[in-house]
Structure 1
Amino acid sequence: MLDEKFVRRGLFLVFVILFLDILGIAIIVPVLPTYLEELTGADISEAAIDGGWLLLVYAAMQFLFAPLIGNLSDRFGRRPVLLASVLTFAIDNLICALATSYWMLFIGRVLAGISGASFGTAAAYIADISHDGNRAKNFGLIGIAFGSGFALGPVLGGLLGELGPRVPFYGAAALSFVNFILGVFLLPETLDRANRRRFEWKRANPLGALKQMRNYPGIGWVGFVFFLFWLAHSVYPAVWSFVSSYRYGWSEGQIGLSLGIFGIGGALVMGIVLPQVVPRLGEWRTAVVGLTFTTLGAVGYAAAWQGWMVYAVIIATALESLADPPLRSIAAAHVPPSAQGELQGALTSVASITTIIGPLIFTQAFGYFTSAGAPVSFAGAPYALASCFLVGALVVFLLKIPRSRAVGPQGEEAAEVEDIPAIEKAARGELTRMPGN
């Protein structure tokens, strides 16, 4: 049993690392349109497309390097991998702040994507110091770090952006350097040498987790719902700043404020509403409610032709945050405890693919429908496209995902998985593919 002080210290420090990393990513979102226009001399429609390529290369690097970095952490320990990641992220933001050309910015985003691939290592760090009784609670720190970082980051970035579009990049670099120094002196190692294993290239395959999803009954349809859901959600980091600047004439500060309110609303729903709703409706119905409000939200942003309407949509559709947690729980019900890590790896691969495809699709849609040659000027086109993906996710969920988990009146779960023997065989590798997938 690990010392309680060691566990608390490790959890606190890895939370700080994640929070500052997310803050460093979110801090540059409000200034990206202005910065790209200044750096390239392009108008906002062309700058949006340039921004899409930056998001695409960031996601591609995460997809390619996440398995590699995870395997390196199994060989050399979590601490050196996390420290190298934080330092790389600091260097990346410094390069972006000093960039004199688009290609310098592109190189910086390549480094950012590689360093961001270590989020899985942070999860492994938490798993190292957790046990069955507190693992779910400890993993919740990742969600808190993401939520609070994305809520505060755009607000801080908007304020710094008022001083100049490069200032938030300097701020992100400074945060990362502070993060690195804290880690060097305070972050303990959690993976004992006895538990480390030999590095194997064949295990660092980004497609392996996706192939494994076929081995579990019903998980293929759940994975497809996740794909459509996350693909639609990638519209927000891809074009929120561009749409807000073009459609409403918002400043960096106003863009940051809107994103901050969006993040705070989601965090409140996750922390207060979700624990009350799931025991009453069950996971399946809660997911339906979340997916429905997510779809309505995308339609609302597409139709919001005035800035104040954006805030009305944020408030009216805040329940969209109910979608992700029950979807994850439903997915977890399809695999045994011994395969939960494998499942999460597969879902991470799905998320990485959507963050590669989504920014390209949505920024191209924005660029086309705001260009001089567009048949109709419609800055909300990316959100309208996202709503189509969400309708697809909702339809697939309703038709293909059975109500396989019930939740009792006190919140206790009564697992009712369709084929337990088949699932266990899939986890052991005795089945190569399940029927119906």
Structure 2
Amino acid sequence: MNDAAATAPRKAALAFIFITVLIDVLSFGIIIPVLPHLVEQLAGGGIANAALWVGVFGTLFALIQFVCSPIQGALSDRFGRRPVVLLSNLGVGIDFLFMALVNSLPLLLIGRCISGATAASFTTANAYIADVTPAEKRAASFGMLGAAFGVGFIIGPALGGLLGGIHVRAPFYAAAVLALANFCYGWFILPESLPADRRSARFDWSHANPFGSLVLLRRYRQVFGLAAVVLLSDLAHYVLQSVFVLYADYRYGWGPQKVGYTLALVGLCNAIVQAWLVGKLVPRIGERRTVLAGIVFGGIGFACMALAGNGPVFLIGIPFLALWGLAGPSTQALMSQQVGPREQGRLQGAVSSLASVAGIIGPALFTQVFALFISNHAPIHLPGAPFLLSSFLLIVALLVAMRVTRSGAQEDVANRKPEIVTPGMPLAEVRANDGGHEQR
């Protein structure tokens, strides 16, 4: 009876977090088709000029996320997950409304900075999952968040293109409505997942700054190694955002419609893998094997895309790339199992900062490689070189993952510092928590 009573609130909380991430991805996906056109208008016209500014917007957004993600994670460890999630939803909604109304490029740039600062609910959502989900079920729950991302990626750009045909500002208004509705829904529905006695005693800037937050990763051998896997994987993924449209047009002559259908297929396959297959596979073969298998499939998918001489062969790589989605949730689960409850938010903030680092490096890296290997100065004409680079990055990630997951968990448990025990603290929490170094 007690188990059933505890399961119902947990399921309700997980459902809300799923909806929160889905709406976040939807709201950002909606503006993907129209933001460059709005930038072009405010920049005075010209595709080349607009492309320059879009690059600036993307890099600045990633930089802001790099700084703010660990701050949100540390705030959630100190004050709880609920207020941080709600603040993120409110800030994103107000920001989209702001961007819908501004009439100058500097103001639009300020809007994107606000988005980068507030749109880190995925960080706190991951910490929330770690709070309310048993360790053995976290991979499946993280997979559900990945599925929310996939569904949002399918629906968002399509809806944005439809609304953008009505007016270039319409998607921004729609995104604002979605985010603010999410805030209102959460205000009345979302429970707190982190009890007061499990929160950090104080907000520590040494943990909240993006570099200080990485110290947490260094304290755990397996977590630090898996963080390298996350960084390499995130970097490899940016080939799709950076050069896929250009590559498909250059090599296969695909226009916007075919590109849109292909992206929808990618999102659909990814959602199926993360929502269904992760939960089925991890209990059978474990997180470690699931991580390794996912990375192998991702490397095969990128290699297939790089070497495909025609569009149908390129499409064969999409299911392999979707199976790469097995690795992400399982990696998150392994990392969260090595960190105590008082540090889950900082862990997810540090991981989000790594993703932001990839966002700063990736676009420039892959566009430059693509430009080089289709130019007259290329050592060999190889349009698929960026995808081969992504495949190589995943090979390196595979080697790192194989090494750190072989015995890292046992070493981390042995090296943990003793926790200061508070009255009434469950013995399981005392053993799982590495918070003894904190001032209480």
Q: Please give the TM-score of this superposition, normalised by the length of structure 2.
A: 0.76
1:366–1:280 Cα change, 3 Å? same
Contact 1:218 1:401 (8 Å CA) reproduced: yes
Contact 1:56 1:360 (8 Å CA) reproduced: no
Match of 1:26 in 2: 29
Within a 5 Å distance, the mapping from 1:56-75 to structure 2 comes to: 56-74=59-77
Match of 2:304 in 1: 300
261-270 or 187-196: which moved more?
Answer: 187-196
Once residues 96 and 370 of structure 1 are traced to their aligned partners in structure 2, the CA distance between those partners, rounded to angstroms, is 37
Match of 1:14 in 2: 17
Residue 205 (str. 1) matches residue 209 (str. 2): yes
Once residues 381 and 340 of structure 2 are traced to their aligned partners in structure 1, the CA distance between those partners, rounded to angstroms, is 51
Give the letter for the 1:70 counterpart. Answer: G
Once residues 211 and 340 of structure 1 are traced to their aligned partners in structure 2, the CA distance between those partners, rounded to angstroms, is 12
Once residues 380 and 166 of structure 2 are traced to their aligned partners in structure 1, the CA distance between those partners, rounded to angstroms, is 35
Q: 1:153 aligns with which of 152, 156, 159?
A: 156
Shift of 1:32: 4.8
Residue 231 (str. 1) matches residue 224 (str. 2): no
Once residues 375 and 37 of structure 1 are traced to their aligned partners in structure 2, the CA distance between those partners, rounded to angstroms, is 35
2:97 is paired with a residue whose SS is helix
Residue 356 (str. 1) matches residue 347 (str. 2): no
Within a 5 Å distance, the mapping from 1:184-199 to structure 2 comes to: 184-188=187-191, 197-199=201-203
Within a 5 Å distance, the mapping from 1:22-421 to structure 2 comes to: 22-32=25-35, 34-37=37-40, 39-40=42-43, 41-43=45-47, 47-74=50-77, 77-98=80-101, 100-126=103-129, 140-163=143-166, 165-188=168-191, 197-244=201-248, 250=254, 252-275=256-279, 277-278=281-282, 283-304=287-308, 306-331=310-335, 335=338, 341=344, 343-366=347-370, 380-398=384-402, 400-401=403-404, 403-404=406-407, 417-418=410-411, 420-421=413-414
Q: How many pairs were matched up?
A: 418
Shift of 1:21: 0.8
Give the letter for the 2:392 counterpart. Answer: C
Give the letter for the 1:215 counterpart. Answer: R
Once residues 169 and 254 of structure 2 are traced to their aligned partners in structure 1, the CA distance between those partners, rounded to angstroms, is 18
Once residues 290 and 132 of structure 2 are traced to their aligned partners in structure 1, the CA distance between those partners, rounded to angstroms, is 31
1:274–1:47 Cα change, 3 Å? same
Shift of 1:262: 0.6
Q: How large is the Cα RMSD of the aligned pairs?
A: 4.1
1:323 is paired with a residue whose SS is helix
Once residues 223 and 190 of structure 1 are traced to their aligned partners in structure 2, the CA distance between those partners, rounded to angstroms, is 25
1:374–1:32 Cα change, 3 Å? farther
192-201 or 81-90: which moved more?
Answer: 192-201
Once residues 97 and 267 of structure 2 are traced to their aligned partners in structure 1, the CA distance between those partners, rounded to angstroms, is 26
Once residues 78 and 226 of structure 2 are traced to their aligned partners in structure 1, the CA distance between those partners, rounded to angstroms, is 32
User: Gaps spanning 5+ residues in structure 2: where?
Assistant: 420-432
1:285–1:199 Cα change, 3 Å? closer
Shift of 1:110: 0.9
Give the letter for the 1:227 counterpart. Answer: L
Shift of 1:219: 4.3
Once residues 32 and 251 of structure 1 are traced to their aligned partners in structure 2, the CA distance between those partners, rounded to angstroms, is 19
1:238–1:367 Cα change, 3 Å? same
Once residues 386 and 165 of structure 1 are traced to their aligned partners in structure 2, the CA distance between those partners, rounded to angstroms, is 34
Contact 1:48 1:363 (8 Å CA) reproduced: no
Give the letter for the 1:169 counterpart. Answer: F
Contact 2:342 2:435 (8 Å CA) reproduced: no
> What per-residue deviation string (whole Å, max 9, x for no partner) do you get for residues 21-79 of structure 1?
111112233445555555543436x6555433322222221221123233444555544
Once residues 251 and 33 of structure 2 are traced to their aligned partners in structure 1, the CA distance between those partners, rounded to angstroms, is 15
Q: Identity percentage over the alignment?
A: 40
Shift of 1:114: 0.8
Contact 2:140 2:275 (8 Å CA) reproduced: no
Once residues 214 and 281 of structure 1 are traced to their aligned partners in structure 2, the CA distance between those partners, rounded to angstroms, is 28
1:253–1:158 Cα change, 3 Å? farther
1:303–1:173 Cα change, 3 Å? farther
Contact 1:27 1:154 (8 Å CA) reproduced: yes
418-427 or 367-376: which moved more?
Answer: 367-376
Match of 1:411 in 2: none
Once residues 326 and 123 of structure 2 are traced to their aligned partners in structure 1, the CA distance between those partners, rounded to angstroms, is 24
Contact 1:158 1:255 (8 Å CA) reproduced: no
Shift of 1:93: 2.4
User: Gaps spanning 5+ residues in structure 1: where?
Assistant: 406-415, 432-437
